[in-house]
Amino acid sequence: MPTKIGKSVRKVVRGASRPSFLYDHDYIKVKSKAELIEMYNNSSTIPKKKQKIKNELVRRGGVVFE
């Protein structure tokens, strides 16, 4: 299962014969490296999300943590 960074959002499809929904998932793998670094350096980011971001940046390579 891919790692999520935010909550999933349910969107209603209008004009269908019956109510149907689309789900928009906020996966960490679709975020840019610059956006992840900005989120990691933000002081309001909780430690659980910082660890997820750190794991993703290490997986992608090119970022060194000391």
DSSP state of 27: B
Number of domains the chain is built from: 1
Is the overall model pTM greater than 0.75, yes or no? yes
Beta bridge partners of 4: 27
For 53, the domain range is: 9-60
Task: Evaluate whether residue 65 is within a structural domain.
Answer: no
**What is the 8-class DSSP label of residue 66?**
-
Asked if the structure places residue 66 within a domain, the reply is no
- Give 25-58 pLDDT, tens digit per residue: 999 999 999 999 999 999 999 999 999 999 999 9
* 17-31 per-position pLDDT tens digit: 888 999 999 999 999
β-strands 9-13, 20-24 pairing: antiparallel
43 in a structural domain:
yes
